[in-house]
Copies of this chain bind each other. A is one copy, B any other.
C-alpha cells in the first residue's frame, strides 16, 4: 500500500483521493497553504488548476526530486472552450517534465471524469480504463498496480509525448459533456 501526496483538495483531488483510499492507500492532502514543513510522499499527484501548476512547481521543486509525479490536468481554455491553452505541439505533462528533470512524470487520470472515478463506471456496467503516459516504465508499473487495487482498469499508452493525445481526448470529452452531447455519466470507454 502506498503513501500518496495530493496537491489540491478540489473536486478532482478529493475524487482521486477517495478512489485511492478505496484501494487501501494513504492520502495526504496539501492545500493552498502549502507543505508547512510536511514531507512529500514518494508518489505525488498534482490536482490543481493548470494555471497554478507552474507556481506550485517553482515553490516545491526540491521536494519532487526522485519522486513519481502525476499530472492530471486538462489545460482547457475555460473562457472559450475552443482550445487548449498549452502551446500546440506539446502538453502540460511535457512542460512539467522539462521543469523537473529528476522527477518521474506521468500523465494520468485526465481522460477519466470525476463521475467515472466516483462511480467506477462509464455509462452502466463498464469499468473505466485510466490512461497513463510516461517515459518511466517503472513508475507506470507502480501506478498500474495502484489503479488495479481500486478495481479500475488501466492502459499504458506509451511515452510522455502521448500526453498530447490524452489532453486532446480529455478536452474533447469535457467539451461534449458541456455541450450535452454526452450525459454526465457517459464519456469515452476504451474497449480492449
Contact = CB atoms under 8 A, between A and B. Distances in A.
Interface string A163-192: 011101101100110010111001111111
A157 interface: yes
A188 B186 contact: no
A184 to B, nearest CB: 11
Given A192-B182, A192-B183, A162 B172 contact: yes
Interface residues of A, number: 34
A85 to B, nearest CB: 13
A175 B190 contact: no
Given A82-B159, A158-B175, A189-B191, 7 more contacts: A156-B181, A162-B172, A165-B172, A165-B175, A166-B172, A169-B172, A186-B190
Interface of A: 82-83, 88-89, 122-123, 126, 155-159, 161-162, 164-166, 168-169, 171-172, 175-176, 179, 181-183, 186-192
